[in-house]
Amino acid sequence: MKFMSEQEIMDHYHMTHAIKDVKETLMSLVAGKIKTEERIVIESDGNTMLYMPCVDLKENFSLIKIISIFPGNPDKGLSTSQAVSILSELKTGKHVATLDASYLTRLRTGAITGIATDSLARQDAEVVGVIGTGGMAFEQLLGVLAVRTVKKILLYNRTMEKAQLFAEQLRSAAIDADIEVVSEVNQLTAQADIINCATKSHEAVFDHRAVKQGTHINGLGSYLPSMREINVDTIAAADLIVLDDWEGAKYEAGEFIEAEALGRFNWNEALSLTDLISQQVSRQHINDITIFKSVGASYYDLAVGVGAYKLMQ
């Protein structure tokens, strides 16, 4: 059995690989070649262990990701989420690799954001606004940068110093765009063609009236029914809404659950990422407001786990 550390995976497996592998797995999902079971959740003392298994009958691998979500961890200088995956080969049942899956989780989330953004954002989108500059923001942004030529990146964080640190991280990653930290979220929404949200907020993180026509919004916070990130008015006004996992979102995406309860949104209005890929759906009009909401699913973890393993063989 091979052990693949975060650093080894980061050295070899990047956003372009992840986007290609996630697209192929979505096609396998459409073709009925992916089997999943509902994830197992075990809670204790406010902490959660999540177990997400998935089988790929095309590639002949199965993968289970194990994530611990410990909300008190940042106070101890540790990450809230820690993930590891076990990859098994389906011709012999052999367990072939243990993968540190924290980077892979961020990367696959960025990759699905990139795939959705490629179909949904305006072709000429060149200004990206980032709301929330925490752990998931960097790869979410890399996903967007993989599919659009971005000239300007605006950063907003509740604690402004964190946005400034993130700006430095982007500069040292040699990202070729103007990078600006803003102190008011409206400065960001007024300019952004694409808005990335990755917060732990329990209320909408921007004012709907400040959103430009033609904006595409990516949301990946709000992964619990109690959380809110995208404005419900924006959900109601959106011309096209795409969910990374239609079933998962119904149980997890807080602001969409609220919007549905308020009669301002219906799940049947939303497409899934597989619809986008298999039916080649894209934005219809230059002034449409589009939303991509991600909650994650086991087959995305499988896509990048198998992809990284095969690449690094």
Q: Does 1 bind a second copy (CB under 8 A)?
A: yes
Tell me whether residue 95 or residue 285 sits nearer to a second copy (CB atom): 95
- Bridge-partner residues for 55, per DSSP? 35, 62
- Rounded CA gap, 222 and 44, in Å? 21
Q: How far is the CB of 264 from a second copy (least distance, A)?
A: 35
Tell me whether residue 143 or residue 305 sits nearer to a second copy (CB atom): 305
Q: Enter the DSSP assignment of 201.
A: -
Tell me whether residue 31 or residue 261 sits nearer to a second copy (CB atom): 31
Q: Does 42 bind a second copy (CB under 8 A)?
A: yes
Q: Does 94 bind a second copy (CB under 8 A)?
A: yes
- Bridge-partner residues for 302, per DSSP? none
- Rounded CA gap, 226 and 6, in Å? 31
Per-residue burial over 273-311, b if 16 or more Cβ lie within 10 Å, else e, is bbbbbeeeeebeeeebbbbbbbbbbbbbbbbbbbbbbee
Q: Does 10 bind a second copy (CB under 8 A)?
A: no
Tell me whether residue 57 or residue 210 sits nearer to a second copy (CB atom): 57
Q: Applying CB under 8 A, which of residues 15, 18, 29, 69 lies at the interface with a second copy?
A: 69
Q: How far is the CB of 184 from a second copy (least distance, A)?
A: 35
Q: Applying CB under 8 A, which of residues 16, 31, 41, 123 lies at the interface with a second copy?
A: 41
DSSP 265-294: --GGG-EEHHHHHHTT----STT--EEEE-
> Which amino acid type is present at position 280?
Q
Q: Does 100 bind a second copy (CB under 8 A)?
A: yes
How many of the chain's residues bind a second copy (CB under 8 A)?
36
- Rounded CA gap, 169 and 173, in Å? 6
For a second copy, the binding residues (CB under 8 A) are: 1, 3, 35, 37, 40-42, 44, 47, 49, 51, 53, 55, 57, 62, 64, 66, 68-70, 73, 76, 78, 81-84, 86, 88, 90, 92-95, 98, 100
